[in-house]
Structure 1
Amino acid sequence: MHFENEVGIKIRNEWQKASLNLLYTYGFLFNGYENFFKRYGLTTQQYNAVRILQEQYPNPISTSGLRDKMLDKMSDTSRLVSRLNAKGFVDVKQNPHDKRLVNIILSEKGHRLMETIEPELNLLDSMMNGLTEEEAIMLSELLSKVRTSVKTACRRIRATTVAETN
């Protein structure tokens, strides 16, 4: 089925088609991830935070340090950490050097959770099994180019907006 028929809109050009196709596909991937992590009582963002904390372990990380490493930079990291703490997956302590910061570390329960999830992660990988390994590499390279293009465009848009308001 052609993309235009699937989403039911007329496409202006190939760049719009690629952009909308990416957003549309993101929805499928996101829903697949959400359904997978729901089995463990997590959201995709919560898993991402726990994964980062596991990689950081035994070193603690601040809320801002965690946000910097998150896939979704717009997430409310403080609320995310509070929810993970309430579930017992992380320990949160005040930073002894700066009372405004907290140190976040993966708890023993968080480690056990990750040990349970890790053998199942290949189920997430299987969502991309329609691609060969070479195609997956090519897609990753193309997406890197897209991110660079988006960042450049966003800087131009911000500059234009600032110039218009002055």
Structure 2
Amino acid sequence: MELFREHDLTLQQYNVLRILRGQQSNAIKVSDIAERMLDKNSNTSRLVDKLLVKGLAERTSCPSDRRAVDVIITEHGLDLLAKIDPLLEEWENKMSATITPEEAESISALLDKMRKSDNN
């Protein structure tokens, strides 16, 4: 999607940032992020590494498990989401205005079918 490319993000990286924002400044383990991902086939560790390089997330050590890595969103990451969210909402509104509820249901069913065949 062009919107994400303009901000040097992928859809999966955006998903990770939204998960991190949902933690409300509480750190989360990479394994917990992976469980919450929309795309279960994503390499979450690699996605987090890219967000770290971009300064959108930070690593912290996990006090309860020194082998685990906790991740937290940075102010820069929150600022970027604040820019993208209204643009994405505008795009979604345009899409929903051109697709009937029946068409949306058909698309959803087809996507579910594709996901099921991908997992087999």
Q: For the residues of structure 2 that align with 1:54 and 1:77, how far apart are their CA atoms?
A: 16
Aligned with 1:66 (options 33, 50, 54): 33
* 2:77 is equivalent to residue 95 of structure 1: no
Structure 2 counterpart of 1:78, one-letter code: S
Q: For the residues of structure 1 that align with 2:103 and 2:61, how far apart are their CA atoms?
A: 42
| Residue aligning to 2:75 | 108
Residues 40 and 145 of structure 1: CA distance in aligned 2, closer, same or farther (over 3 Å): closer
The question of whether the paired residues in 2 share the 8 Å contact of 1:67 and 1:77 is answered with yes
The question of whether the paired residues in 1 share the 8 Å contact of 2:27 and 2:60 is answered with no
Q: For the residues of structure 2 that align with 1:137 and 1:127, how far apart are their CA atoms?
A: 10
Q: For the residues of structure 2 that align with 1:47 and 1:145, how far apart are their CA atoms?
A: 21
* 2:99 is equivalent to residue 131 of structure 1: yes
Among the aligned pairs, what percent are the same residue?
36
- What's the CA shift for 1:144? 7.6
Query: The residue matched to 1:36 in structure 2 has which SS?
Result: helix
Aligned residues: 118
Q: For the residues of structure 1 that align with 2:3 and 2:85, how far apart are their CA atoms?
A: 12
- What's the CA shift for 1:146? 2.9
Query: The residue matched to 2:28 in structure 1 has which SS?
Result: coil
Relative CO higher for 1 or 2, CA cutoff 8 Å, sep ≥ 6?
A: 2
> Which consecutive aligned stretches of 4+ in structure 1 deviate over 4 angstroms post-superposition?
none
- TM-score normalised by structure 2 residue count: 0.82
- TM-score normalised by structure 1 residue count: 0.61
* 2:83 is equivalent to residue 83 of structure 1: no
Q: For the residues of structure 2 that align with 1:101 and 1:48, how far apart are their CA atoms?
A: 21
What are structure 2's unaligned runs of at least 5 residues? none
The question of whether the paired residues in 2 share the 8 Å contact of 1:46 and 1:84 is answered with yes
Is the radius of gyration larger for structure 1 or structure 2?
1
| Residue aligning to 1:56 | 23
Q: For 1:38-57, what aligned pairs fall within 5 Å after superposition? A: 38-57=5-24
Q: Root-mean-square deviation (CA), in Å? A: 2.4
| Residue aligning to 1:142 | 109
Query: The residue matched to 2:26 in structure 1 has which SS?
Result: coil
